Structure 1
Amino acid sequence: MNARVAHLIRHAGAVIFDFDDTLAETMRSRWPLLIKTAEQFDVDVTEDMIRAVWGVPFPELVTTLVPSVDRVLFESAYLQTMHSTPPTSTPGTRELLEFLAAQGTELAIVSSSRRDLVVMDIARLGIADFFRPEDIFGTEQLLGRKPDPRVLRRPVQRFADRGIGREAIVSIGDGINDYRVASGNDVAFVAVLTGLASAEDFVAAGLTRDLVVPNFVTIQPWFSS
């Protein structure tokens, strides 16, 4: 059991989650949909192309992958395709959220995706009730783009208004940019290896190895100990 992460989770007043590949297995479910949607516009998109831009704000991802296609038209077609393919949560997501909710921890989502897509996905994942609507931040609500520290300015201020200082906030994400955003706000960070980044990537970026966990299943023993 990782004692340092256990301490952070148990004593957090608020936890800020990234969404894609942190709470939802987005790579597995969404990459094929991006490729399928691009085919509707006679554009070839590969997994390597998606990997190269994965994690940027969704509008920028679209314009980079399919520059010849009107972004609004593409996003509309993509949304229709999403309706036919329900998302899946990362291992242990519900158990962690239940644990945090039971101890009264405030929860938020900060995503580079569009807010409406995140809201739709958490509803389909059955985890929407764990989050206040005003604590779900899509790329439109953020003051910058990851790794700009301003990304967390509004969520951190919202928790401060509720009496929760940044020293009591933990950020959890799967990407190096998630770590850099948290570090730029003096917010504790826990990395999960459910995205593209490896443990070595996080360590190279400056995160200590004891703040890296494979997934949420590996922290389930903390719930009953």
Structure 2
Amino acid sequence: MTRAIVFDLDGTLADTPAAIAELLVEVAAEFGVTVTPEQAAKTVGRPLEESFGELLGKREEDSETESAVTRYRELFEQRVIGKKTELLYPSVVEGLRILRDSGAKLAVGTSKITPTAEALLSAMEIRDFFDVVVGHDKVSRGKPNPEMGQRSAYELGVPVQECVYVGDTVSDMQMAREAGMGAVAVTYGVAPRSELNKLNGVTCCDDFMAVVNACDTESAFVS
């Protein structure tokens, strides 16, 4: 049976959540809104329009929200992408190589827009591991809606039931289960293990090599 693994990006492959939260706070301040790091952290992993809509108290399609998103992306490119391979969590390169060499198809399904995701993956020197990159701009509804998982499977040419999604948030896991994918959660990202442990049908992993092992077992896949 052909199998595929779809990865979230921030908090799963790249150690970026803290930097993202800092930028959300900074950009909100530029638009006259005081946001605490804790408030910003709760929105990490969502599409930026949704995050800034909530933090600024605006509609997602509001011009001020759009301006904040544009400003954030400028700062993210300047300050975060430039860190390159320093952003990778331990063992990510080794683990991706093992999975690719096993014959699995690999993809990224992220709330980032595709061009930003592509740029970050290239900067971290891991873009070539992935057959497909699906950003928020390729779907009409973000996580936890199952569309991103379904779109990733479609672009990979693999039935969704033969795919596993690896992520770090509750919405990642909800998306995976709703899509009919296997669900593997990393505990080193945004959501703590205590939250992830409450979810049914989810395998929790404390490091990336544990992810590799989980994806190499039948239990990680929906039958």
Query: What is the TM-score when the length of structure 2 is the normalising length?
Result: 0.80
User: Compared with structure 1, are the counterparts of its residues 206 and 219 closer, same or farther at alpha carbon in structure 2 (3 Å cutoff)?
Assistant: closer
Alignment CA distance shift 1:79-1:148 (3 Å): closer
In structure 2, what is the Cα distance between the partners aligned to 1:190 and 1:153? Answer: 16
- Unpaired segments ≥5 residues, structure 1: 1-10
Q: Does 1:127 align with 2:122?
A: no
Higher relative contact order (CA 8 A, sep 6+): 1
State the one-letter code of the partner of 2:39: M
Match of 1:5 in 2: none
The residue aligned with 2:206 is 214
Mark the CA change 1:129 to 1:166 in structure 2 (over 3 Å): closer, same or farther: same
- The secondary structure found in structure 2 opposite 1:200 is helix
Structure 1 residues 173, 71: closer, same or farther in 2, change over 3 A?
Answer: same
Q: Which residue of 2 aligns with 1:7?
A: none
Percent identical among aligned pairs is 23
2: CA distance, partners of 1:116 / 1:39: 26
Aligned residues: 205
Structure 2: segments with no counterpart, 5+ residues: 215-223
Matched, 1:21 2:11: yes
Matched, 1:53 2:47: no
Contact 1:142 1:152 (8 Å CA) reproduced: no
Partner in structure 2 of residue 189 of structure 1:
183
Measured after TM superposition, the shift of residue 52 of structure 1 is: 2.9
Contact 1:92 1:220 in 2 (8 A): no
TM-score normalised by the chain length of structure 1 = 0.80
User: Counterpart in 2 of 1:84?
Assistant: 79
Query: Retained in 1: the 8 A contact 2:150–2:160?
Result: no
Cα RMSD over matched residues? 2.4
Distance 2:205 2:190 in 1: 14
CA distance in 2, matches of 1:190, 1:215: 11
Q: Which residue of 1 aligns with 2:98?
A: 99
**Corresponding residue number in structure 2 for 1:144:** 141
Q: Which moved more, 1:181-190 or 1:86-95?
A: 86-95
Q: Is the 8 A contact 1:147 1:180 kept in 2?
A: yes
CA distance in 2, matches of 1:37, 1:143: 25
AA of the residue aligned to 1:144: R
State the match for 1:4 in structure 2. none
Between the aligned partners of 2:20 and 2:107, the Cα distance in structure 1 is 22
The letter of the residue matching 2:30 is Q
